[in-house]
Structure 1
Amino acid sequence: MPEQPIPDVRKSVTVRASVEECFKAFTERLSDWWPPSHVLVRKERAGLAFEPGVGGRYYEWDVEGTEVDWGRVLVWEPPFRLAMTWRVNGRFESIPDDERASEIEVEFRPVDARTTVVELAHVKLYRHGDDAMRIFTALDGRSPGETLERFAKVL
């Protein structure tokens, strides 16, 4: 699929917590901050999880145990970096594999021992093909965006 000129979407938030606390909360406490409107399962969501390490899934499951993958971990460098595929189409529905998935990169940069800048970037949006511009427009709203705002509040 040829690359199209779809810019990356970058958001950031400054959090009053150490870089270690931020990485741990991002990867282990998803249910505390993940927006309730960001759901891929068809029934009521029961949980969210990361499988740590490169190749691990990040996924959700519903009350009946049906699992849906949001993507696969590409980079796992605690407590500073995390990257994963994002298996979502232009209607914000699950896609089954990484062939048309974009990527999410998350960096945790310490400002001092108790303050961290968390930057989240949606990259390679062109991989969504005809849906790429629709996804870019939906993601490129005000900063830091609902997801990072919720994340900062739990810490």
Structure 2
Amino acid sequence: MSEQTIPDVRKSVTVAATPAEAFKVFTERPEDWWPPTHVLVKKERAGLAFEPEVGGRYYEWDVEGTEISWGTVLEWEPGRRVAMTWRIDGRWQSIPDDERASEIEVDFEAVDERHTKVTLAHVKLHKHGEGAEGIFKALDGPSPGETLERLARLF
């Protein structure tokens, strides 16, 4: 696979919530669904948060207050969509800016009055450079994937 031919990875899950409720849980309670192994801070993680606006960060901080940004919010449409950069390199380590960051897109689509399909896509994976193919292979496992499984359990 060449860098430019690394496909997107899309996974989805249906949750028992309206799009507005699902969006709110996703963006306001990341500590409840974020996989515990996905950590960039060196000390014990104390929290995770989204700054609810385009240009805001989604970030974590440790018990000593050290913060690391996972990325920048690119789209913020409550009840419909959130998109952001994903600041890791091909070795799953933090990078300081969005220059080499891929992107994550999360869409919330009503299935009926009480259910929402949540689709999470990792796009532009080639931007991770060397190691991008390994990231693709790790993400392209069984659907819906750990993150969406954890999210679905909250409803």
TM-score class, shorter = over 0.9
**Residue 137 of structure 1 corresponds to which residue in structure 2?**
137
Q: Secondary structure at the match of 2:107?
A: strand
**Residue 75 of structure 1 corresponds to which residue in structure 2?**
75
**Residues 1:47 and 2:47 are matched in the alignment:** yes
TM-score by length of 2: 0.97
Q: List aligned pairs for 1:114-153, cutoff 5 A.
A: 114-153=114-153
**Residue 32 of structure 1 corresponds to which residue in structure 2?**
32
**Residue 96 of structure 2 corresponds to which residue in structure 1?**
96
Q: CA deviation at 1:91?
A: 2.1
Structure 1 gap ranges (5+): none
Q: CA deviation at 1:3?
A: 5.8
Does structure 1 conserve the Cα–Cα contact (< 8 Å) formed by 2:10 and 2:119?
A: yes
TM-score by length of 1: 0.97
One-letter amino acid matched to 1:111: V
Q: Distance in 2 between matches of 1:14 and 1:142?
A: 15
Q: Distance in 2 between matches of 1:33 and 1:124?
A: 24
**Residue 5 of structure 2 corresponds to which residue in structure 1?**
5
Does structure 1 conserve the Cα–Cα contact (< 8 Å) formed by 2:3 and 2:129?
A: no
Q: CA deviation at 1:90?
A: 2.1
Q: Distance in 1 between matches of 2:19 and 2:76?
A: 14
Does structure 1 conserve the Cα–Cα contact (< 8 Å) formed by 2:90 and 2:129?
A: no
1:22-75 Cα distance to aligned partner (Å, 9 max, x none):
000000001111110110000000000000110000000000000000000000
- Range with greater deviation from structure 2 (87-96 or 115-124): 87-96
Structure 2 gap ranges (5+): none
Q: Distance in 2 between matches of 1:126 and 1:42?
A: 27
One-letter amino acid matched to 2:95: I
Q: Distance in 1 between matches of 2:75 and 2:131?
A: 25
